[in-house]
Amino acid sequence: MIDDVKKDASTQMGKAIEALGANLRKIRTGRAHPSLLDHVMVDYYGGAVPIGQCANVTVEDGRSLVITPWERDMVGKIEKAIMTSELGLNPNTAGTVIRITMPPLTEERRRDLAKIMRGEGESARISIRNARRDANQTLKDMVKEKMISEDDEHRGEQEIQKLTDKYVAEVEALLDAKETEIMSV
């Protein structure tokens, strides 16, 4: 029973780490990467879809992305979606190909990105702590219903705390790696 609670908590904490990784990939560094446009939505036949579902996104060199829409009439829609996104990118259209050159980041912008990144990290830590709280509450409920003893509850809480510490350390490692990437020129 305690193993089930521990397993559920681990699953929830793992999802928090996955969400943090996805959010960190959205934060723009100086390098071009196709996943940068994953959250930019384009109007495609009446529905909003990610750019990757209506065009081919490739890296031309370290600083530019090339977007090749599958249909000619999508060029304008994709260009508009990129300009209205919060990425601060200016697409250049040449026929049916859209090129995005990544401008170098200023020192001030790097610091702002680091703050945003730290906020994402704090959200992940909160999710992990919430999973710990839920698991501990489940253990307390099991003690009340006489399904486990208080010693088992105490042992379970210690195991869940170790799990929490492990996942919080993973959050820190992800944040440190991304911060190094952002701050490098």
Q: What is the CATH number of the domain that holds 52?
A: 3.30.1360.40
Structure tokens at 14: 């793992």
Q: For the packed helices 2-26 and 150-183, what is the interaxial angle rounded to 10 degrees?
A: 10
Q: What is the CATH number of the domain that holds 178?
A: 1.10.132.20
pLDDT digit string (tens) for the chain, length 185 residues: 888 989 999 999 999 999 998 888 777 666 677 777 777 888 888 888 888 888 888 888 877 889 899 888 888 888 888 888 877 778 888 888 888 887 777 788 788 888 888 888 999 999 999 999 999 999 999 999 988 888 989 999 999 999 999 999 999 999 998 888 877 75
Give this prediction's pTM. 0.69
Structure tokens at 158: 């210690």
Query: Which of residues 69, 86, 101 is at a domain's end?
Result: 101
Beta strands in the chain (DSSP E): 41-44, 47-50, 55-61, 64-69, 91-94, 97-101
Domain carrying residue 142: 2-26+106-183
- Amino acid (one-letter) located at 35: S
Same domain, 110 and 172: yes
Query: Which of residues 101, 133, 159 is at a domain's end?
Result: 101
